């Protein structure tokens, strides 16, 4: 999730009270440069894992430019980083909603003054999609789809008015990609009064372009591209590994990135590396509640690695006394604990007990973080578990 590289920022020589005089719209090149520098500072603090400092930066930006939507929209991005792997936690819902709705009002006010203000359309599109994402997580799919379509329309207008606005390509690419998947996963969406406008190939192209360009979202895009490469078909573990190696080298204190790095190591079959990195994850310190939750998963990673290395007793010891759930565990941790225990049972020849656990995992509701566990559980139901190396050896013998 080379040495740590910190971006150098333009020093804001003006105090917040005069940095954007009388909260006037950002219009001069100097004001735009100053705003962009401030935004990059907050984004980098978020990526470095210092989300509290990022919150302070966004607060300062909102005080300095109260009529500009940037401080509100990017604050929501930081809030989403706090819950990205624990979206079942509703504690940030009110704060996310209030900031995104305020950004909507500010962006709409700017568009009323200038209907072709590309930046205003970009921020408005971002805010609508942020609200839609929250509704989607909470099961309000009709509202989520409506807000998402509004956001898509404004992001497309932003690019129409300013084709060089690379920042707009990232949220638009996300929307195109995941809306396309949604209509394929949930066919009944076709019967609603809206059909999300998805285009997975174009969305993926926009995300890839963002990783390569000079966009505020380039590192977010790298993280999402790694996620897509691991979670969706066809799986590209080589690309995911390359991206997460690069991100972890740049942001070594970001526990979320470190956690995803371990994931790429596992999917690449580098199980000894998983053991090493999981121990480092467990020994890391600092951060917020998300960091604590992710550190708590280190025994699961170690157990899964021991299983693949053919050491079920070591795996069982890692999970001994480890609770499947609770306030100090991510909501998805239990699925992986139960799956790993099922594989251990399979290796011990206790097939009936293993099948019971596989079926428990397979029958869970399907949030994004549990989908791969369910695919593995379904495979365990079809045939007894064997390690990846044994499976590879058997396949070679069959040839």
Q: Residues 121-146: what's their mean pLDDT?
A: 88
**pLDDT grade for 138, boundaries at 50, 70 and 90:** confident
Q: Is the pLDDT of residue 191 over 50?
A: no
Per cent of the chain over pLDDT 70 is: 83
Degrees to nearest 5, angle at CA 58 with 54 and 63: 145
Q: Is the pLDDT of residue 11 over 80?
A: no
Torsion of CA 265, 268, 273, 275, to 10 degrees: 80
Degrees to nearest 5, angle at CA 174 with 269 and 196: 125
Based on C-alpha coordinates, what's the Rg of the chain?
A: 23
Give dist(CA 376, CA 320) in Å, integer: 22
Each residue's pLDDT tens digit, 230-269? 887 678 999 999 999 999 999 999 999 999 999 999 999 9
Q: Residues 135-155: what's their mean pLDDT?
A: 87
Q: Is the pLDDT of residue 21 over 90?
A: no
> What long-range pairs does 231-237 form, CB within 8 A, spacing at least 24?
231/368, 231/371, 231/372, 232/181, 235/267, 237/264, 237/267, 237/268
Q: Is the pLDDT of residue 366 over 70?
A: no
Q: Is the pLDDT of residue 161 over 90?
A: yes
Each residue's pLDDT tens digit, 284-312? 987 777 888 899 999 999 999 999 999 99
**181-185, 253-257, 346-350: which has the minimum mean pLDDT?**
181-185
In the prediction, which pLDDT does 393 show? 53
Short-list 174, 215, 176, 170, CA closest to 196? 176
In the prediction, which pLDDT does 107 show? 97
**pLDDT grade for 18, boundaries at 50, 70 and 90:** very low
Give dist(CA 203, CA 205) in Å, integer: 5
Each residue's pLDDT tens digit, 48-65? 989 999 999 999 999 999
Give dist(CA 349, CA 355) in Å, integer: 11
In the prediction, which pLDDT does 330 show? 83
CB 128 within 8 A of CB 148: yes
**pLDDT grade for 194, boundaries at 50, 70 and 90:** low
More confident call, 345 vs 371: 345
**64-73, 78-87, 336-345: which has the minimum mean pLDDT?**
78-87
In the prediction, which pLDDT does 368 show? 63
Question: What average pLDDT is seen over the chain?
Answer: 84
Q: Residues 370-389: what's their mean pLDDT?
A: 91
In the prediction, which pLDDT does 345 show? 97
C-beta neighbour count of 194 within 10 angstroms: 12
Give dist(CA 370, CA 349) in Å, integer: 26
Short-list 232, 197, 196, 224, CA closest to 208? 224
Q: Residues 336-350: what's their mean pLDDT?
A: 96
Residue 78 makes CB contacts below 8 A (sequence gap 6+) with 42, 46, 51, 54, 55, 58
Phi-psi region of 11 (alpha: psi -120 to 50; beta: other; left: phi over 0): beta
Per cent of the chain over pLDDT 90 is: 63
In the prediction, which pLDDT does 398 show? 52
**16-25, 117-126, 129-138, 229-238: which has the minimum mean pLDDT?**
16-25
C-beta neighbour count of 144 within 10 angstroms: 21
In the prediction, which pLDDT does 141 show? 75
In the prediction, which pLDDT does 27 show? 54
In the prediction, which pLDDT does 325 show? 67
């Amino acid at each position: 999730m080379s040495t740590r590289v910190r971006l150098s920022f333009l020093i804001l020589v003006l105090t917040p009270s005069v940095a954007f005089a009388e909260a006037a719209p950002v219009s001069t090149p100097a004001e735009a440069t100053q705003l962009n520098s401030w935004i990059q500072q907050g984004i980098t603090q978020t990526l470095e894992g210092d989300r509290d400092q990022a919150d302070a930066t966004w607060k300062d930006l909102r005080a300095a430019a109260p009529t500009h939507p940037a401080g509100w929209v990017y604050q929501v991005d930081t809030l989403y980083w706090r819950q990205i792997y624990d979206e079942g936690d509703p504690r940030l819902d009110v704060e996310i909603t209030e900031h995104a709705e305020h950004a909507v009002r500010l962006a709409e006010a700017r568009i009323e003054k200038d209907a072709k203000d590309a930046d205003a359309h970009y921020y408005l599109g971002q805010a609508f999609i942020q609200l839609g994402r929250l509704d989607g997580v909470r099961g309000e799919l009709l509202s989520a789809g409506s807000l998402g379509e509004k956001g898509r329309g404004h992001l497309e207008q932003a690019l129409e008015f300013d084709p060089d606005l690379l920042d707009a390509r990232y949220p638009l690419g996300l929307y195109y990609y995941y809306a396309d998947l949604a209509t394929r996963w949930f066919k009944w969406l076709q019967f609603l009064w809206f059909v999300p406008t998805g285009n997975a190939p174009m969305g993926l192209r926009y995300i890839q372009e963002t990783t390569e360009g000079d966009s505020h979202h380039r590192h977010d895009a790298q993280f999402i591209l790694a996620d897509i490469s691991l979670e969706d078909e066809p799986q590209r573990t080589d690309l995911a590994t390359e991206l997460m190696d690069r991100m972890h080298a740049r942001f070594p204190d970001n526990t979320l990135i470190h956690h995803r790095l371990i994931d790429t190591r596992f999917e690449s079959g580098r199980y000894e590396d998983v053991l090493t990195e999981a121990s480092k994850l467990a020994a890391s310190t600092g951060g917020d509640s998300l960091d604590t939750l992710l550190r708590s998963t280190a025994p699961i990673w170690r157990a899964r690695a021991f299983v693949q290395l053919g050491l079920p007793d070591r795996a069982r010891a890692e999970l001994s006394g480890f609770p499947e759930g609770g306030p100090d565990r991510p909501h998805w941790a239990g699925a992986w604990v139960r799956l790993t225990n099922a594989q251990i049972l399979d290796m011990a020849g206790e097939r009936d007990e293993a099948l019971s656990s596989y079926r428990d995992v397979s029958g869970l509701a399907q949030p994004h973080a549990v989908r791969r566990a369910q695919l593995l559980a379904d495979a365990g139901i079809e045939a007894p578990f064997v390690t990846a190396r044994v499976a590879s050896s058997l396949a070679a013998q069959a040839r």
